[in-house]
Amino acid sequence: MTFGYELEFFGANLWNLSELYDIPWYSKGHRCDYHEFHFSEEIDITDILSSEGGELISPIYTEKTKQKCLQELREKLKILKKEGAYLKENANDTGFHIHLGRQVLESRAKKALLLKFLFAFQPEIFDFARGKDAKIRDNVVINAREILRKDINLELDHYPEEKLFSGKHKCIRFTPFSFELRYFNSSLDYEVLESYLEFAWHLYAGLQKNTWDLEKIEYYNQQYYIIGKSPNKERREAMFQMLKLKRND
């Protein structure tokens, strides 16, 4: 497994961050192809700086460097807070995007299974992605739209991927090198971000090791609109159990 993240924030002066710390900080408006730089060959990048907030782009990590990722994340959050970083109320305009290496998606069937899982538990994932004492961010309908059943059907019908999940508008995005989970609210709380990463790691592991209950996934796909689009306790429990995650409430 390879993975990385993007953390959006306001306020911290990126000139100071660049001068004081050897960490890649990018301005919010900089259109950097994250996947090209971090999921293929290693390329030197010149930092684009701003004083209006920005986006912390992590290096690439692996299964063996998870703890290094968490340790570095904790230190970077301390730096951000020290330098004046903040989030708007309820993190409504900023996200925490997690990128996972595409190696696990070796077939259309595997990718369709991932989409079915995300669709089956979609309300619970969005609820989880709020973080602590927050609401689903306002721009989620622009930058993290829900998966529709027709999206899965089109995927199974071999509809061109670039027309379905290549843009930055849905809650999941596919690139040649990775797939990106765009559900999560940004946060400067280490425990919240750690829980997001744990969710992504367990999602990847279940997909890779074929440990999911396929009948249950199919059941919740078929019952999605009957159970409803509001978070459901039974469905949430099933999701956490399938991912082998501890409940966060």
pLDDT for 35-82, tens place per residue?
Answer: 333 322 332 333 333 446 778 888 899 999 999 999 999 988 988 888
Reduce the secondary structure of 2-32 to three states and give it as a string: EEEEEEEEECCCHHHHHHHCCCCEEECCCCC
Residue 249 has what pLDDT? 53
What pTM value is reported for the model? Answer: 0.85
Which comes out higher in pLDDT, residue 150 or 235? Answer: 235
Residue 182 has pLDDT above 60, yes or no: yes
Residue 49 has what pLDDT? 37
Residue-wise pLDDT for 112-131, tens only, equals 899 999 999 999 999 999 87
Cβ–Cβ under 8 Å, residues 3 and 103: no
Cβ–Cβ under 8 Å, residues 169 and 145: yes
Residue 66 has what pLDDT? 96
How many CB atoms within 10 Å of residue 130? 19
